[in-house]
Amino acid sequence: MTKPGTLSRSFLWATSGTVLQTGAQLIALVALARLLTPFEFGVATIATLVTQLCLAFSEFGVAPFIVHSATLSPSLLGSGFLLSCLFGIGVAVVVWLMAPLLGQLTGVEVLIPAIRVLSVVFLIRGWSAVQESLCQRELDFRFLARVDGWSFGIGYAVVAVGCAMSGLSYWSVIIGQIGQAAIRAALLGARHRNLSALPSSFADGKQILKFGVGQTFARFGSYVGSQADSYLVAAFIGVVSTGHYGRANQLVTMPSFYIGQVFDRFVFPVIARLQGDTIRLPKAYLMAVSGASLISVPMAVLTWLFADAGVSVILGKQWSAAVAVVQILALAVPFRMLHKVADPTARALGATYTRAWRQWLFAAMVFSLGFVLLSLGINGVAWAVVVSTMLDAMLMTYLCCRLADVSIAEVLRALVPATRIGMAALVLGGATHAVGVAIDIGSAAVLLSGVGIGGVLLAFVFSKNTGVLLGRDGEQLISVVRSDIRSALR
């Protein structure tokens, strides 16, 4: 059994790595938004959408199998590594051959070489998937935090911005993504060496593939659902609108994506270890729900209030069309975070196919509702995402309630602290924004005031007198987090 101190340190390091990577991505976004046009970002976004869609097949559930397995033999590891590499090669070849067709479908011929070059990522990811899953299995989030920081900071941010300053247009983003994947793979490979020397067997490979079918089906559905809005914009509205929508979506989802990544990396192995524990499993799930909502609700409120200042300062004046999209998508952030808790919980408890059809239902909702609202432009697609995300969060939460033996009433009670903090953010943030705009202090000062409100609320949450606003459950959660941080720092 993993010691509490180990879990505390793991979560702290995972969180710190997320904070650093979010900051690095924000800096890169500020620089690239001023060096590239919406059209150039649109080309890079479409190429990335195609390759990211195929990433679901590049490892075929090998990495989740490694994390989920109760025991690992050398033969099982060797078989997993071999399969991951083979699927990576296969997907890279398919994407390379399909690039001309994809270019014709979008009407953007420059996509053909961009997609082909980006297909190199499949080879890199296929080789490093098992190494990363071993780090997650061992809860070695301190090392993963370093990997995230170095790979993104140097591999993407420095390389992409440098290429953009050299006038390489959309190629700067593509080269940056390849650089990030290459540095990440090199660091992971140095941590877990000689996997290629391990034996492999047909029986172990068959076991992995059986598990991988359901995982890949669900993961593919999840990705299609999460990117269906971007596909609709690219296919029916245009490349420039794809650039606007993509940057707005990135600005809103960037914090929740990386925070959700922490929950996914941490919740999945922890819940997997608590299977069958009827006492600690429900408590762990409810605490994750409460913690995720406590972060996401005030973040969504402040993003909605300060979207105009944020877009102006971070992206620049050429991206003004993104303001309304940012405000709309901000409403979906708390529901995205509920999904980020529910998804690894369902995977860890073995609900592979039950989870899969919910992912595909979500994808169908985004596509159908988004298509109906296309007449409203990118704002209509954004509203389709909000409605679909709400329904998806409800379905996934209900599934986890059944799996973890938790009642809906207990989940609603876990959400009360976040609701109170959200109301406080609305009142304080709304008043601050209104005063800032009225006296015309400038976009940068208005945005800084919003960040200040967020800092004040965060400081209050972690203060000793939180019972009045957060209630008993919220105060208990913060007390546990404080204790974990002190334990991790010892």
Task: Report the distance separating Cα 417 and Cα 479, nearest Å.
Answer: 13
Is the pLDDT at 231 greater than 90, yes or no? no
Task: Report the distance separating Cα 160 and Cα 240, nearest Å.
Answer: 20
CA contacts within 13 A on the Cβ side of 184:
27
**Under 8 Å CB-to-CB from 216, ≥6 apart: which residues?**
56, 57, 60, 61
Do residues 453 and 432 make contact, with C-beta atoms less than 8 angstroms apart?
yes
Q: What is the dihedral of CA 234, 238, 240, 241, to 10 degrees?
A: -70
Predicted TM-score (pTM) above 0.75: no
Q: Which stretches of 138-197 are DSSP H helices?
A: 141-150, 159-165, 171-191
Model confidence at 20, pLDDT cuts 50, 70, 90, reads low
Per-residue confidence (pLDDT) for residue 464, from 0 to 100: 56
Lowest average pLDDT, out of 179-183, 188-192, 194-198, 327-331, goes to 194-198
Type and span of the H or E element at 443: helix 443-461
> What is the identity of the amino acid at 379?
N
* Of residues 308, 354, 343, the one with CA closest to residue 327: 308
Per-residue confidence (pLDDT) for residue 475, from 0 to 100: 58
Do residues 125 and 185 make contact, with C-beta atoms less than 8 angstroms apart?
yes
Residue appearing with tokens 């080309």:
43
Do residues 215 and 346 make contact, with C-beta atoms less than 8 angstroms apart?
no
**Per-residue pLDDT tens digits for 327-370:** 999 999 999 989 888 888 887 787 766 777 777 888 889 889 99
Is the pLDDT at 480 greater than 60, yes or no? no
Locate 420 and state its tokens. Answer: 């109170």
User: CA separation (Å) from 115 to 44, 45, 137, 258, 419?
Assistant: 9, 11, 32, 25, 43
CB atoms within 10 A of CB 175: 20
User: Stretch 144-167: mean pLDDT, rounded?
Assistant: 86
Lowest average pLDDT, out of 55-64, 228-237, 448-457, goes to 55-64
User: Stretch 124-142: mean pLDDT, rounded?
Assistant: 82
Of residues 315 and 273, which shows the higher confidence score?
315
Q: How far is CA 66 from the centre of its chain?
A: 21
Task: Report the distance separating Cα 490 and Cα 487, nearest Å.
Answer: 5
Per-residue confidence (pLDDT) for residue 143, from 0 to 100: 82
Per-residue confidence (pLDDT) for residue 473, from 0 to 100: 54
Task: Report the distance separating Cα 191 and Cα 78, nearest Å.
Answer: 16
Locate 243 and state its tokens. Answer: 């650039």
Lowest average pLDDT, out of 131-145, 293-307, 374-388, goes to 131-145
Locate the DSSP E strands across 90-232: none
Task: Report the distance separating Cα 488 and Cα 142, nearest Å.
Answer: 11
Is the pLDDT at 259 greater than 90, yes or no? no
Give the CA angle between residues 183, 187, 193 to the nearest 5°. 135
CB atoms within 10 A of CB 478: 21
Mean pLDDT score of the chain:
81
Per-residue confidence (pLDDT) for residue 470, from 0 to 100: 53
